[in-house]
Amino acid sequence: MSEVEVLKGNVLLAEPFMMDSNFRRAAIVLCEHDEEGTVGFIMNKPIDVNITDLIPDFPSFDGALHFGGPVATDSIHYIHNVGDLLDESIRVGNGMYWGGNFEKLKFLIDAKLISPANIRFYVGYSGWSNGQLTEELSSGSWVVADMHPNYLFKSEPVMLWEEILSDLPDPYSVIAQMPDGVNWN
């Protein structure tokens, strides 16, 4: 079996029968992937909390939070499409940036230069140590796909796993049609 190439900016899709509740039907955008390890954020697990509920001095903003992963759930991260405005942003891929100067972010939001359509906030992250993701890929736990900014900024999060799988060739496009929680009678 040939090794799958993983790049910063790719998407990891959980295999359909993954039982880990943190990653069940997860679509994870990878923001860092190098010899030290991998960092990504689950794009399709929104939580019913507003960013202003967690950060009291944050400007009024109707930005939803997502569960980014089980690591460091006491941290807030953000991916956005305004890297040209937000200093210290790290380019993840075409039209996608991770992080940036937090004080400037608050200023840009307060000045209405960043809207909820431009940014996604995450509680925690998903992380793999050096070699761990390669091992999980070889055991078939993940499918690697190309990332498109529309997945992050335009798609409905709860349908994202199915949408990305549907964009892949068979057998993945067929698997995407499988209902979650198949019961046998």
Within-domain flag for 67: yes
Q: What is the CATH number of the domain that holds 69?
A: 3.40.1740.10
Is pLDDT at 69 greater than 70 in this prediction?
A: yes
164 by DSSP, 3-state: which? helix
> Is 87 inside a domain boundary?
yes
Range of the domain at 63: 11-175
The residue ranking higher by pLDDT, 172 or 157, is 157
DSSP annotation of 118 reads: G
Question: Could you tell me if residue 180 is inside a domain?
Answer: no
pLDDT tens for 101-143 read 999 999 999 999 999 999 999 999 999 999 999 999 999 899 9
Q: Is residue 16 part of a domain?
A: yes
Specify if 182 maps to a domain. Answer: no
User: Per-residue pLDDT for 12 more than 60?
Assistant: yes
What are the tens digits of pLDDT across the range 25-68? Answer: 999 999 999 999 999 999 999 999 999 999 989 999 998 799 99
Long-range (24+ apart) CB contacts under 8 A made by 62-65 are 62/116, 63/116, 63/119, 63/120, 63/121, 64/116, 64/120, 64/121, 65/121, 65/122, 65/123
pLDDT exceeds cutoff 70 at 178: no
Q: Give me the number of domains the chain comprises.
A: 1
